[in-house]
Amino acid sequence: MRFSTITSSLLALASFSAAAEIVKRAALTQVTSFGANTSGAKMYIYVPANLATKPAVIVAIHYCSGTASAYYSNTPYATLAEKHGFIVIYPESPYSGTCWDVSSPASLTHNGGGNSNSIANMVTYTLAQYNGDASRVFVTGTSSGAMMTNVLSATYPEMFAAASAYSGVPAGCFYTGTVNGWNSTCSGGNSIHTQTEWANTALNMYPGYTGARPKMMILHGSADTTLYPQNFNETLKQWSGVFGYTYGSPQQTLAQTPSAAYTKYVYGPNLVGYYGTGVGHSVPVMGDLDLAWFGITGSSSTTTTTTTAAGPSTTLATSTKTSSPATTTSTSSAAATTTTASSGGCTAVRWAQCGGTGFTGCTACASPYKCTFSNAYYSQCL
């Protein structure tokens, strides 16, 4: 009887140690059990035949209407993985329309149980199964995937070393209080705040965290009519504030970099932006540029570029924003999103402005949030 028990235990251990081999090498494979997944997100993984001994991990996140398979097929990461030995995780949204939840409190909170938490658990699983290098985990995405890239960088800063966001919006900009909500104010480029306000929005997604944060590469096009180009400015404001740079005062401005249509704005070692003149939604994925930013390769003047057919299935608000990215220094605040309380009063939702010099909106916050002083001009529901 004892022999049988020991044998069963050994078989179980052998099965566990070989679990990684279930995933086919050099093929996109779904992983159905990777840890807590209350949001129902799907996990797909590409493990190259040429796997490094201690591989880096890239999380590559699709756009609205996209899938893990589409992003796998239409971006260069799997091909580059064979060359450099890293693993690629391709999450897939569980919602109709396949946009990501970047709008609910659960997903905008560290360990809140939303899509962001599910993706973080995919990373933890992969590092454990493949002896991955926890110091070399990176995240990238397009459109809704870029929104999630910014959200993951704010909610799980300890997990990611670097990020690249193709045509997204600042973390928290799409907040609606609902799962998989659509925020037309944000998409239209009308959520305009100071860099301090945006930075606090990101920092408050993981209260008390004081460790390292991923360096950020932000890419956007001037002709984007899905997520308007003002969102490039606002995202640079956010990460400028997080890293202590001054928005609107890049250390370097490099024309025609990495190609003729783009201007590169270098704020410091932790933040760069690329603005494509005449480029619509969304900026084509530049795999070599990403790998150089992540530190997987050295700098390269050439890029492996793939066009992705990103596009949300939701009708968008129109906008006439024409301000030039990396030069706008507006400090006006978008009107706070509000709801009417049952008592007839006005209540501001989480992360909305609730006070400050000249502010005339709601001063009470929806439970359990409190109006928290940031400076003389701005208080926020936190």
Among 104, 107, 116, 143, the active-site one is 143
The b-or-e profile of 179-203 (16+ CB within 10 A means b, else e) is: bbebbebbbbbbbbbbbbbbbbbbb
3-state secondary structure the chain: CHHHHHHHHHHHHHHHHCHHHHCCECCEEEECCCCCCCCCCEEEEEECCCCCCCCCEEEEECCCCCCHHHHHHHCCHHHHHHHHCCEEEEEECCCCCCCCCCCCCCCCCCCCCCHHHHHHHHHHHHHHHCCCCCCCEEEEEECHHHHHHHHHHHHCCCCCCEEEEECCCCCCCCCCCCCCCCCHHHHCCCCCCCHHHHHHHHHCCCCCCCCCCCEEEEEEECCCCCCCCHHHHHHHHHHHHHHCCCCCCCCEEEECCCCCCEEEEEEECCEEEEEECCCCCCCCEEHHHHHHHHCCCCCCCCCCEECCCCCCCCCCCCCCCCCCCCCCCCCCCCCCCEEECCCCCEEECCCCEEECCCCCCCCEECCCCCEEEEECCEEEEC
Determine whether 135 is an active site residue.
Answer: no
Active-site positions read 143
